[in-house]
Amino acid sequence: MSGVPAVDAVALLPALAPAVGAVLVLAVDAALPRGRGRRVLDVLAVASLLVAIGSLAVLGDSTRLTFCHGSTAASCGYVAGRLSFSLQMVVLLSALICLLLALADDDRPELPRAEMLLLLLTATAGACALAGARDLATFAVAFETASLPIIGLVALRRDSVGAEAGVKLLLTAVLSFGLLALGLALLYASTGSLMLGAGVSDRLGDVRLLHGLGLALVVAGAAFKLSLVPFHLWTPDTYAGAPLSVAAFLSTVSKAAGLAAVVLVLAVGAPERSGLWAAPVGALAVLTMTVGNLVALRQSSAVRLLAWSTVAQAGWVLLPLAGAVGQSRVPGAVSASVGYLFAYVAGTLTVFAVVARTANHADGGAGHRLDAYAGLWRREPAVALALVFGLLCLAGLPPGIVGLVAKVIALVPVVGVGAWWLVAGAVANVVLGVAVYLRWAVQIFSGGESVERSPMTQRWTGRVALSVATAGCIALSVLPEGVVGLLAGSAVR
């Protein structure tokens, strides 16, 4: 039919597979008696994510365009390229590990299986679609699809703590989308086009200020998802009130979606104005990591420490964009941001997998304190080593080489533009971050003689999640050039 754009199903497969999986889960759960067929639902969910991951191997380095109204990428509503490939890889691998962690909570009635799988797959599909979105309408729909299901996931505990966390996240999501929608409206008004990257129109006079305000509002909306200061206040209470597998999902998949939104609106949408937005982004990044590290130093709860660690790490994820001064520097800065995201996700998932294992055997459950890890090296030496390695990866200390390499990658674009005040702030936060994670690591090797040595048990899916996350950290530390080779120099398209 004339005027109807062709659809490339292969390009959409990383987002379509989890979406189809969500529909199948819903249909099978409706067809089978309540409580029956849980294993079938589990297989469907895992299989849909594996298909999506496999589709990335098919896409590879190629660029595929769909929903096009012309012959160029600038006229296409969805682009499957190197940038979307990298972000979707982070999203799908993280979602798979978080799903395995959720399946390990098999005996917990507060986690209804079908609802949990449906919401997790839907949010994953939204995050994958957001990575490839290139028009404002797709951007907005994908952003909300990646956000709204997480509210339901947080509230799955079905107690007062889970309800409070869900309400806080709901209010945050409403405010976030309000800012985002207003910003997108201003971008459309100032460009006269729904496409990201459209130039500022001169039909209404000089509207560059209006365009800049639109960019700022969209970034503010995405900043809630990334937990950037001062949009971070929902983070600790929501993490503490959510199931641990959902908190891990928020720390990884949600952060990848937030970075995708920021990169798309700035690096894809306005690379020619990078000289104006780079410095404010850098200041926001350093402020975020400083607040996150300082407050994390005062935490005694493992989950709350991880929540504030997420805030601090979000600053590092954003920092390389401060080096995008000049359009030619934008691709390298984006690659550095995605590279740091990859390393951060590997370390965070390893730590969360250990926390989920320990929470079932500690007083206070998910709210357990850091001293619950005292003597862990005597009770569970392999688990203790995995936790220490994950913490060292986040701190950037050997043998967690991937964390050190990621921090160097993040600093290179900033050093390249001579923003030494940002470099100084980041280096100071390296020291603060080391103190945060070593404070936890010390607990693991203390108090061993007086601690009960009863072994910890966990379903096999939880053990697989821990093994895969730890193996990822080790592989990236042994071959850190893998991150550089995969992401460095990727084109923003």
Q: What is the per-residue pLDDT across 277-325, written as a single tens digit (0 to 9) for each?
A: 889 999 999 999 999 999 999 988 889 999 999 999 999 999 999 988 8
Q: In this predicted model, what pLDDT tens digit does every residue of 195-222 receive, in sequence order? A: 887 777 666 666 788 888 989 999 999 9
Residue 112: per-residue pLDDT: 77
Q: Which amino acid is at 28?
A: V
pLDDT score of 382 more than 70: yes
Mean per-residue pLDDT over the chain, rounded: 84
Whether the model pTM is above 0.75: yes
Higher-confidence residue of 99 and 161: namely: 99
Spell out the long-range contacts of 483-487 with Cβ–Cβ below 8 A and sequence spacing 24 or more: 483/339, 483/342, 483/343, 483/402, 483/405, 483/406, 483/409, 484/339, 484/405, 484/409, 486/86, 486/339, 486/342, 487/86, 487/335, 487/336, 487/338, 487/339, 487/342
Q: Which three-class secondary structure string do you get for 115-127?
A: HHHHHHHHHHHHH
CA distances from 340 to 76, 86, 288, 389 (A): 28, 12, 16, 17
d(C-alpha 450, C-alpha 104), whole Å: 29
Residue 452: per-residue pLDDT: 47
pLDDT score of 242 more than 80: yes
Higher-confidence residue of 482 and 161: namely: 161
Residue 311: per-residue pLDDT: 94
- Which tokens hold the place of 187? 């971008």
Spell out the long-range contacts of 244-247 with Cβ–Cβ below 8 A and sequence spacing 24 or more: 244/101, 244/303, 244/352, 244/355, 244/356, 244/359, 244/366, 245/98, 245/99, 245/101, 245/102, 245/104, 245/105, 245/356, 246/98, 246/102, 246/150, 246/153, 246/154, 246/156, 247/303, 247/306, 247/307, 247/352
CA distances from 386 to 57, 244, 354, 355, 376 (A): 29, 18, 8, 11, 11
Q: In this predicted model, what pLDDT tens digit does every residue of 11-37 receive, in sequence order? A: 889 999 999 999 999 888 888 776 566
The verdict on whether omega for the bond into residue 399 sits within 30 degrees of 0, i.e. cis, is: yes
pLDDT band per the 50, 70, 90 thresholds, residue 387? very high
Higher-confidence residue of 72 and 80: namely: 80
pLDDT score of 364 more than 70: no
Of the chain, the percentage scoring pLDDT greater than 70 comes to 87
pLDDT band per the 50, 70, 90 thresholds, residue 152? confident
Q: What is the mean pLDDT of residues 108-123?
A: 80
- Which tokens hold the place of 306? 């991880």
Q: Which residues contact 149 (CB under 8 A, 6 or more apart)?
A: 118, 119, 120, 122, 123, 126
Q: What is the mean pLDDT of residues 225-240?
A: 88
- Which tokens hold the place of 449? 């003689």
332, 267 contact by CB (below 8 A): no
pLDDT band per the 50, 70, 90 thresholds, residue 473? confident
pLDDT score of 129 more than 50: yes
Residue 233: per-residue pLDDT: 84
Q: Which amino acid is at 214?
A: G
Q: What is the mean pLDDT of residues 336-354?
A: 91
Q: Could you give the count of Cα atoms lying within 13 Å of 100 in the half-sphere of its Cβ? A: 26
pLDDT score of 357 more than 90: no
